Amino acid sequence: MWSVDTPWPAPSEKIRQLIRSGAEVALNTRDEFAEELRNAGLNSLRLAPFADDPALAENVRRVNLFNLLHWASSNIQEPGDRVTVAMHGENLLLAHDLVRRGLDETALDSYRVAESVAWRRWTQICFDLSSDAGDLRELLNVTVQSISTYIDDLVAALATRMEAARQELSSSTHAQRSAAVSLLLEGAPITRARAESQLGYALTGPQLAAIVWTRSTEDSTHLERAAQVLTRAGNVGHRLTVVASLSSLWIWLPTRDIEMTEEVDRELSKIPTVHVALGRPGLDLAGFRSSHLEALSVQRFSDRLSSPHQVARYEDVQLAALMTADTQQADDFIRETLGDFAHADAEAIETLFTWIALRCSSVKAAEKLHSHRNTVIRKVAAADQLLPRPLSDNFIAVAAALELLRWQGDEATLAS
C-alpha cells in the first residue's frame, strides 16, 4: 500500500493528457466494463455461493460501476493524481450488505479479482492511445500504481466500515434472527425450541414464504409497506421478517394462502418498484424451508427475465422457470415457434394465450377479455397466419412459447 507520507509522483503533461483520454474511453464503455468487474467479483471464491442472489448481484454491479465512474471521473479532472476513496453511497451500502449476509473481510478479496480485470481492460485502452514505447511505459507505470492504490485504500475503508456494521448488528435481534434462519435453511442441528425462541415465531403449522424485493436500494423504504400488505392479505396478525439485504426482505406467514384480491393488487401497484415472490405453502419446519427455497427460485426467475409482473407465485412460473434455465435457448425457442407473432401487439398475444388457456373456447375467452366472440375468432385466425407452422400442427409448442413470452420484460426482447 502506498504510504500517505510518500510523495505521489507527478506524470508529465503528455502522460496526463493520455490518462485523461483513457479515462474518457472507460466512461464511454462503463456498462460493459462494469459487467466484467461484476462477473469477476461474484465468481471469486468467497462470493460464489451468493452469485445466484439477484439482490446481492445487483449491489455488486452498482458498486463496481460506482467505483469505475469515480476513478475515471477523478482522472479526467486531475489525471494521474491519487484518487481518494468515496466511502459513501454504494460502497457504504455494500459494506452493510456483506455483514448482513454473514460475510467477513475476506469477502473483500473479490476486489483483488476485479482489480486484475480492470487492469487488463485498462491496458487495452492504453495500447489504443499510443504506440510510443516510452510513453506507454510511463503511462502504465503511473496508472497501475493509481489503480492498485485505489483498491488498497477501498478495501481498507470497507473493512473498517464492516467492522463497525458488525458491532451495530451484534447487539440487535436481527443478528439472532438471521443466524437462526440460516441454520434452519441449512438443515443444521438446531432444536425447534431454540429456533423459535430466537425467532419469536412458531415453526409448527402452515408456513408460506415470500420475498419482497426491489432492483433499486433507493426504494428499499417501500419493502416494509409491501410486507404489511401481504400480512393483511394472508389474514394473519404476525409474521417473521428477516432483512436479507438492503433491497430484499425474507418473510414467513403462518397461513396456507395469500389472497391476491383487487384491493391487494391496487395497494401493491402504488409501490411499482417493489416485487413479490411467493413460494407454495407447507407445514412445519419442512414447509418453512421448502416454501422459502421456492420463493428464492421465483425471485431469480423474475430477475433473470426482467419480468414486468409485480407478483409471481411458484406454481405460476414453475414451467417457465424450467424452460428458461438457458435464456438464449428459450429466446431461440420463442422466435422459432412464434415467428413474426412474437412481435405482435400485447392485445393480440393476450388474446391467443387466453384462448388456448381456456381450451380454445372463443366464448369463454371473450368473456374473460371483455370482448366479442367474433373478435376473438378473428384475432386467433390472424395469429395463425403469422405463425411459422399452423396452430393445429404445433399447438403445445405455441402454448409453451406464449407462456414464456408473457413473463418476459422489456429488457428481454427477442432479436429480429
Least confident of 129-133, 242-246, 378-382: 242-246
CB 292 within 8 A of CB 252: yes
CB 98 within 8 A of CB 162: yes
Confidence of residue 2 (pLDDT cuts 50, 70, 90): low
Handedness of CA 34, 35, 40, 46 (dihedral sign): positive
The three grid cell numbers given for residue 159, joined into one nine-digit string: 473493512
Establish how many alpha carbons lie within 13 A of residue 390's alpha carbon, considering only the half-sphere containing its beta carbon: 2
Q: What are the residue ranges spanned by the domains of the chain? A: 13-170, 173-321, 326-412
- Evaluate if residue 189 carries a pLDDT over 50: yes
Non-local CB neighbours of 244 within 8 Å, separated by 6+ positions: 55, 100, 101, 211, 250
Confidence of residue 143 (pLDDT cuts 50, 70, 90): very high
The three grid cell numbers given for residue 340, joined into one nine-digit string: 413474426
- Identify which of 63-72, 173-182, 251-260 has the greatest average pLDDT: 251-260
Q: What is the mean pLDDT of residues 57-70?
A: 80
**Look-up of cell digits 425447534:** 192
CB 146 within 8 A of CB 138: no
Confidence of residue 404 (pLDDT cuts 50, 70, 90): confident
- R_g of the chain, CA atoms, integer Å: 26
pLDDT tens sequence across 19-39: 999 999 988 887 777 777 767
CATH topology of domain 13-170: Globin-like (1.10.490)
State which amino acid sits at residue 222: H
Task: Label the pairing between strands 311-313 and 274-278.
Answer: parallel
- Evaluate if residue 52 carries a pLDDT over 70: no
pLDDT greater at residue 46 or residue 413: 46
Q: pLDDT exceeding 90 applies to what percent of the chain?
A: 31
Confidence of residue 352 (pLDDT cuts 50, 70, 90): very high
CATH of 173-321, one of 1.10.533, 3.30.420, 3.40.50, 3.30.70: 3.30.70
Mean pLDDT of the chain: 83
Confidence of residue 168 (pLDDT cuts 50, 70, 90): low
pLDDT tens sequence across 306-323: 888 899 999 988 888 877
pLDDT greater at residue 55 or residue 413: 55
| Distance, CA of 384 to CA of 387 (rounded, Å) | 5
The three grid cell numbers given for residue 358, joined into one nine-digit string: 381456456
Q: Identify the three-state secondary structure at position 252.
A: strand
| Distance, CA of 73 to CA of 78 (rounded, Å) | 9
